[in-house]
Amino acid sequence: MNEKTIRILEYNKIIDRLVSLTASSLGSELARQLMPDNDIEKVKINLKETSDGVSFISRRGSPPLGGIHDIKDSIKRAEIGSMLNPGELVRVADVLRAVRNLKNYSSGDNIKEEEDNIVGELIRCLEAAKRVEEKINLCIVSEEEISDNASPALGNIRRQIRHAQNSIKDKLNELIRSPKYQKYMQDPIVTVRGDRYVIPVKQEYRAEIPGLIHDSSASGATLFIEPMAVVEANNAIRELKLKEQAEIERILRELSADVAEIATQLNTNITLLAKLDFIFAKAKLSLEYNCVCPKLNSEGKITIKKGRHPLLDPKTVVPIDFWIGEDFHTLVVTGPNTGGKTVTLKTVGLLTLMGQAGLHIPAFDGSDLAVFEEVYADIGDEQSIEQSLSTFSSHMTNIVKILEQANEQSLVLFDELGAGTDPTEGAALAMSILSYLHKRTIRVIATTHYSELKIYALSTKGVSNASCEFDVETLRPTYRLLIGIPGKSNAFAISKKLGLPDFIIADAKERIGAMDKSFEDVISNLEASRIKIEEEQKQIAEYKAEIEELKKKLAKKTESLEASRERILKEAKEEAAKILNEAKEFADQSIKRYNKWLQEGGSIKDMEEERLKLRERLSENQTALPKKTTKQPKNLAKSLKIGDSVNVISLGLKGTVSSLPNAKGDLYVQMGILRSLVNINDIELLDEEAITAPGFSKTQSGKIRMSKSSSIHPDINLIGKTVDEAISELDKYLDDAYLAHLPQVTIIHGRGTGALRNAIHSHLKKLSYVKSFRVGGFGEGDHGVTIVEFK
């Protein structure tokens, strides 16, 4: 890619940001060398590297890239047998630690790596050397210090040195604290000169303390003397220091030899770490600019969805939708100054360069970039004082080079094509240049103010207009790119807003040719139509969003109603079962009292009181329920006759009318053996056919029910029935048998698996009127029957 385009489109600023995101000098070097490539297969691989890096960071967080150093020179020195210094060995250990950390980072979770993940494959190729890493860390504390634990010999030597140093310090401290020598001391301290322990003595008392002079103060008033009493001890320390140095050199040579053994492994690791640092920097750039991986093609088609210039403030930049190469391959962009035309050119050019360099682009998914052999740009003020060239001449010199070098696989960007000279001649030149490049099917994007180029774009197949929107009301550009619509100059509207007198504007309009007026009117109509269509589309989108919201609310409400319905039904069934059980229990107790009343010869009054209690009990459960509506005659009191079949609503019992209603509407109804006074509003007239069978009178219906109960059979056969069927039939049979005053009954259920017998026994335990039950004995049916005895 030519250097001029790189500079004009500010690609180097993207590279500078990429370099700042690397963690090592090795990664920075690769980032600085990154240039757009025109081989589509290489570009795809480079883009996949970036995508894989983004995937790793998104799933695992920022990678551990600390400790990556350029240790190539150290590895070479180790290979030829040189001794590495502690700092070099520390950097080798850092690299090995970085390798180990990255491998742990890659396998730090249970996510299975994709087989074609480039980053994962590079990390798998790294080779750790934990033994060498740990050995270096054990032996070397820092770049200037070797650990006492580096070897037993070194530890022993250093212990001897410390012991000897402490002994000397004790002797010297004893000397300087002695009253005899205190007056000779300049300061009562022990210090070191040339690795030997000395004391500061006043110059005039030099002869009083025999020893070796090692130094003096700047004024000469103080001499630093090594007393003879410690000379031998200092000599011994010196010898130990030499032994220490020899042992340290031995340790460093041993560690250097270990590094030499893994030299090939380390060189491979360095190359891989540099590549990984570079890839992760590209991934971080993608995440920072909120980028996507573009699709690639070699047909010269560009489709950018909501593209943003990466160097502009993301909070204020207006995204653009841009396309070229499908229906047209030349685009003429018009609009007022500062409207965003140049930014559009630079955005398309820079995103193309970024994509071809393997970098993600700041746009939406679905963006498509073409891979060009070369991108040419003529943007900005090209005036050259040194070459005595005007702006027009400088631009034209650059355009001439572009016309000579561009081909069908090129992208050409022109900013203000033909500007800087006479408008008529400039427009003609610009039209000719565009026509030449258009005939060669070269992708061209050009900005201009010339109306002639707008007409050229409208009348030429394969050429399209575009404009940068401008709000005349606020005199501000919106920076929206509108492809397919030529832009207006808006000079008259802007001038009027700024206060230019109307008569001057009117005079200016008169000076415009009829054709120009007509063209401007067409553009105005197009602009008005576009704005209206956009408003309608916006309104449609709002309606669609509202409909979707209503659909969601309806679905949620339906779901809530269904849940409420199920809950209410469940509660109703539970409440009904509870009421039924209470009613059955109360009925059982009433029947017991009724039987007792018969046995003891109770009075009719007692019977009526018992009936009223039963009625009140039933009314408690009926009051909360809605009244059942039935079709009644309009004048029921007049049409009612003795012997009519009725239903007593509050009691839920059927009976026959025994007397006609009185003035209050009360009448007697015979319900079996019971005769009760009820109100006419509490009865409903029953259909004659539903109550009586042929050959029977209405007054006999209660006797029929009583005779059925009294003629109940003493046994019931449930063999072959399911548990539910058997329990339901048994329940009704036991009620009838109990009402018929049978002392006991036999339930025939068979042997089988025992499931039916167990279910029957469980049910019998719940019945309050069952005194006892047992399995049949010999001659009674054995385990195939159950004998039930009533209370």
pLDDT digits (tens, 9 = 90+) for 17-53: 999 999 999 999 999 999 999 999 999 999 999 999 9
* Residue scoring higher pLDDT (283 or 170): 283
* Average of per-residue pLDDT across 294-305: 93
Give the list of residues 6+ apart from residue 644 with CB closer than 8 angstroms, or none: 656, 657, 685, 698
For the CA atoms of 391, 394, 397, 399, what is the dihedral angle to 10 degrees? -60
Q: How confident is the model at residue 117 (pLDDT cuts 50, 70, 90)?
A: confident
4-20 burial by CB neighbour count: b if 16+ within 10 A, else e? ebbebbbbeebbebbbe
- In the predicted structure, residue 366 carries a pLDDT above the cut 60: yes
Q: How confident is the model at residue 382 (pLDDT cuts 50, 70, 90)?
A: low
User: What pLDDT, in 10s, does the model give residues 514-561?
Assistant: 445 455 555 555 555 656 676 777 888 888 888 888 888 888 888 888
Categorize the per-residue pLDDT at 492 as very low, low, confident or very high, splitting at 50, 70 and 90. Answer: low
Out of 1.10.8.50, 1.10.1420.10, 3.40.250.10, 3.40.800.10, the CATH code matching 152-254 is: 1.10.1420.10
Of 19-33, 408-422, 669-683, least confident by mean pLDDT is 669-683
Name the 3-class secondary structure at 290: coil
**pLDDT mean over 91-100:** 94
User: Rounded to whole angstroms, how far apart are CA atoms 521 and 504?
Assistant: 20
Model confidence at 135: pLDDT above 50:
yes
Q: H-helix or E-strand containing 629?
A: none
Most confident region among 141-155, 479-493, 720-734, 777-791 by mean pLDDT: 141-155
Return the SS3 of 302. Answer: strand
CA–CA separation, 49 and 27 (whole Å): 14
Q: What is the model's pLDDT at position 45?
A: 94
Residue 265 pLDDT level (bands cut at 50, 70, 90):
very high
pLDDT for the residue 7: 92
Question: Mind listing the pLDDT tens digit for each residue in 162-193?
Answer: 898 888 888 888 787 888 777 778 788 888 88
What pLDDT does residue 708 have? Answer: 45
Count of beta carbons in the 10 Å neighbourhood of residue 620: 10
CATH topology of domain 295-511: Rossmann fold (3.40.50)
Q: From residue 218, how far is each of 191, 192, 215, 227, 663 by CA, in Å? A: 16, 16, 10, 21, 142
Between CA 750 and CA 786 the distance in angstroms is 9
The model's confidence at residue 449, banded by pLDDT at 50, 70 and 90, is confident
Nearest CA to 376 out of 340, 404, 413 is that of 413
3-state secondary structure 59-101: HHCCCCCCCCCCCHHHHHHHHCCCCCCHHHHHHHHHHHHHHHH
Tell me what pLDDT residue 530 has: 56
Q: Could you give the count of Cα atoms lying within 13 Å of 351 in the half-sphere of its Cβ?
A: 35
Measure Cα distances from 23 to 30, 104, 273, 671 in Å: 12, 18, 10, 100
pLDDT of residue 689: 47
pLDDT in tens, 75-86: 999 999 999 999
Amino acid 560: pLDDT: 81
Q: What pLDDT, on a 0 to 100 scale, did the predictor assign at position 194?
A: 79
Res 472: pLDDT = 59
Please compute the mean of the pLDDT values over residues 653-667 and round it to a whole number: 84
Residue 784's pLDDT band (boundaries 50, 70, 90)?
A: confident
Q: What are phi and psi of 737, to 5 degrees?
A: -65, -40
Q: What does the alpha-carbon distance between residue 315 and residue 578 come to, in Å, rounded to a whole number?
A: 67
Same fold, 3-129+262-288 and 152-254: yes
Residue 524: predicted pLDDT: 54
β-bridge pairing 302-307 and 374-378: unpaired
Instruction: Please provide the distance, in angstroms rounded to a whole number, between the alpha carbons at the two ends of the chain.
Output: 108
Q: Give yes or no for a contact between 623 and 614, defined as CB atoms under 8 angstroms apart.
A: no
pLDDT score at 580: 75
Between CA 25 and CA 477 the distance in angstroms is 44
Q: What is the mean pLDDT of the chain?
A: 82
DSSP label at residue 230 = G
Percent of the chain with pLDDT over 70: 83
Distance CA 18, CA 11 (A): 11
* Structural contact between residues 53 and 119, judged by C-beta atoms closer than 8 angstroms: yes
CB atoms under 10 Å from CB of 337, counted, come to 11
pLDDT score of 275 more than 50: yes
Amino acid 14: pLDDT: 95
Output the pLDDT for position 420: 74
Alpha-carbon distance values, 260 to 89, 104, 145, 250, 255 (Å): 11, 25, 22, 15, 9
Nearest by Cα to 465 from 443, 444, 490, 482: 482
β strands within 147-244, DSSP E: 191-193, 196-202, 211-216, 222-227
Q: 184: helix, coil or strand?
A: coil
Does 272 score more than 90 pLDDT? Answer: yes
pLDDT of the residue at 724? 83
Mean pLDDT of 144-161: 91
pLDDT at 348: 94
Q: What pLDDT does residue 511 have? A: 66
pLDDT of residue 474: 65
Q: Domain-by-domain residue ranges, the chain?
A: 3-129+262-288, 152-254, 295-511, 632-697, 712-790
Average pLDDT over residues 728-736: 84
Q: What is the CATH number of domain 632-697?
A: 2.30.30.30
> Higher confidence at residue 267 or residue 143?
267
Q: Which two tokens stand for residue 736?
A: 């009838």
Instruction: Give the distance from CA 70 to its chain's centroid.
Output: 38
Neighbours of 39 (CB within 10 A): 12
pLDDT tens-place string over residues 744-757: 888 988 888 888 88
| C-alpha span between 84 and 254 (Å, rounded) | 10
Instruction: Give residue 293's pLDDT band: very low, low, confident or very high (50, 70, 90).
Output: very high
The Cα diameter of the chain in Å comes to 160
Q: How confident is the model at residue 475 (pLDDT cuts 50, 70, 90)?
A: low
Instruction: Quote the pLDDT of residue 588.
Output: 72
Tell me which fold the domain 712-790 belongs to: Ribosomal Protein S8; Chain: A, domain 1 (3.30.1370)
Question: What confidence score (pLDDT) does residue 616 get?
Answer: 64
The answer to whether residue 624 scores a pLDDT higher than 80 is no
Q: Is a pLDDT exceeding 80 seen at residue 487?
A: no
- Confidence band for 127, pLDDT divided at 50, 70 and 90: very high
Residue 614 has pLDDT above 90, yes or no: no
Q: b/e string for 666-690 if b means 16 or more Cβ within 10 A?
A: ebbbbbeebbbebebebbebbeeee
3-129+262-288 folds as MutS, DNA mismatch repair protein; Chain A, domain 3 (1.10.1420)
